Chain A
Amino acid sequence: MAKISPVIGRYVTIEVDDLEYRVFWLENGEGPPLVCHHTAATHNHQWRHLLEDEDFTSRHHIIAYDMARHGKSDPPQNAEWWKEDYRLTADHFVNFVTAFCDALELDQPTFIGSSFSGCVALHLALRCPERFGVIIALQAAEYAPGWWLDWWRHPHTNAAQVCSSGVWDMMAPMSPDNERWLPMWYHMQDAEVLKGGLHFYSMDHDLRGRLNEIDTGKCPLVMMTGSYDFLTPPAVTKATADQVAGCDYVEMEQLGHFPMSENYPLFKPYLNKALELIANKRA
């Protein structure tokens, strides 16, 4: 008998800053919405395990979408995007996330983002905390300079292999090979968009001096980072979290930059811990 997953995929058309996007998402589960965002130059398959984990889908409506220009979400439909050098900004990123949540009429969703979407999670916490019930920022920092590089799209190299091989060391060596090669594969698939996404990550994203403005009384914030993540090491995330009153910080042992994808069994208890921390605070 065929193994058919309960996860389904759908599209919604949204408008963000006068750009029209057809956004693809995967969903499964019942309960309060948990919106999941992937890392730069990958797609919602990073959340493939969470989407099929009954421990979570029995109590959450898991929604994992593809950011525009990633996976099955195309570039804007009403712009000649091929004539532009794509550079994601904080404003556009925040507007995209909120427009998507509005389009699906999600009420106070939990937002969980990782890497560049972990960083935008901090912007969401700062700019529109009332829109979200909980924000979980994985592999995030107040400032992450130095990664907007031509190597991600250099005509003299195989950009797909550069983008993917560059992330190998971001993962923990004890994560299983078959799981580590999938983030590599996803980066090979979406390599063309990496530099544009890292424009936000390394050039436009800078919350130094503003973290004290984040009000965790309006929306709880948890920050978590894998101990093997050289891009955003635990010390950097902790230094960010320490500047946000009421923010919880968790170091994820034996995990790297793609915890939900490279070793889900190790990541799962940390996700539970983040949700428990919030629940305990509310109680």
Chain B
Amino acid sequence: MTEAETAVKAEAWAEKFRQATESDPVIQCYAKYYTCDFLLDMEDLRVGVQIRDGQMHKIEINSAPLEPHHFSLHAPAETWRKMSEKRPKPFFHGFWAASVREDLRIEGDITVLMQNLRNFTA
């Protein structure tokens, strides 16, 4: 895949992620105060996400190295692919499972993650 094709695909994914977050009824019924900035490090891609009261404030593909965020999730691209399968195999079925039993790492201010855990998990 060319760089341009990758960029187009990534932007399309970002838009899907925005729509999924803003239309998810589980998130939206508790949207107020779901506010945090996080980084999803997918090895080939770094996605910076800023959420404000359950709405996508900003989503940036290939977020700059020093772009601030509260917490981050890091995993090889292959792990993210396994986690996004329709019927993921055991321990690729959620970020907690993958962090405890596979190679996903959670870093940063865990307090902020815990404060937003319900909606982040949804």
Contact = CB atoms under 8 A, between A and B. Distances in A.
Interface of A: 151, 154, 156-158, 161-162, 164-166, 168-170, 172-174, 227-228, 230-231, 233
B114 A154 contact: yes
A172 B92 CA distance: 11
A162 B97 contact: no
B115 A158 contact: yes
A158 B118 contact: yes
A31 B72 CA distance: 54
A162 B96 contact: no
A174 B87 CA distance: 7
B118 A165 contact: yes
Interface of A is mostly: loop
B117 A161 contact: yes
B97 A169 contact: yes
Interface in B75-122: 87-88, 90-91, 93-97, 100-101, 110-111, 114-115, 117-118, 120-121
Contacts of B118: 158, 161, 164-165
A170 B118 CA distance: 15
A157 B87 contact: no
A165 B95 CA distance: 11
A158 B32 CA distance: 14
Contact of A230 (B87, B97, B120, B121): B97
Contacts of A170: 96-97
A233 B87 CA distance: 18
A156 B115 CA distance: 8
Given A165-B121, A168-B121, A173-B88, A230 B114 contact: no
Nearest to B120: A165
Given A157-B114, A157-B115, 20 more contacts: A151-B110, A156-B115, A157-B111, A157-B117, A161-B117, A162-B117, A164-B118, A165-B118, A166-B117, A168-B94, A169-B121, A172-B93, A173-B87, A173-B94, A228-B90, A228-B97, A230-B90, A230-B97, A233-B90, A233-B101
Q: What 10 pairs between A and B have smallest CB-CB spacing?
A: A169-B94, A230-B97, A169-B96, A161-B118, A169-B97, A165-B117, A165-B121, A157-B114, A173-B93, A228-B90
Contacts of B91: 228, 230, 233
Contacts of B90: 227-228, 230, 233
Contacts of A173: 87-88, 93-94
A172 B117 CA distance: 19
